[in-house]
Amino acid sequence: MSAFQSGHGPSPLGWGQTQAAYDGRFTFVRLRWDSGFGGGFRRGGMSDAWNHDYPRAEQNLMSLLNYLTFIDSREDGSLILRLSDPDLFKFPIVYMWEPGFWQLNDLEAARFREYLLKGGFAIFDDFEQEQWDHFAEQMRRVLPDARFVKLDRSHRVFDSFFRMTTIDFPHPMMGILPTYYGIFEDNDPNRRLMVIANYNNDVAEYWEWSGSGLFPVDTSNEAYKLGVNYMLYGLTH
Q: Which residues pair with 97 in a beta bridge?
A: 125
Alpha carbon of 52 to those of 96, 112, 125, 138, 160: distances in Å? 10, 21, 10, 20, 26
Mean per-residue pLDDT, 225-234: 98
Q: Which of 56, 66, 76 is nearest to 205 (CA)?
A: 56
List, for residues 49-88, the tens digit of each pLDDT value: 899 999 999 999 999 999 999 999 999 999 999 999 999 9
Phi then psi for residue 30, to 5 deg, are: -100, 135
- Looking at residue 20, its pLDDT comes to 83
pLDDT of residue 22: 85
Cα–Cα distance between 136 and 99 in angstroms, integer? Answer: 9
**What whole-number distance in Å separates Cα of residue 13 and Cα of residue 39?**
27
Q: What is the pLDDT of residues 149-202, one digit of tens each?
A: 999 999 999 999 999 999 999 999 999 999 999 999 999 999 999 999 999 999
Domains and CATH numbers, the chain: 24-236 (3.40.50.12140)
CA distance 182 to 197: 6
Residue type, 107: L
Per the DSSP assignment, residues forming a β-bridge with 2 are: none
Number of H helices, E strands in the chain: 5, 14
Residue 81 has a pLDDT of 96
Q: Where are the alpha helices (DSSP H) in the chain?
A: 56-68, 106-117, 131-142, 203-209, 217-236
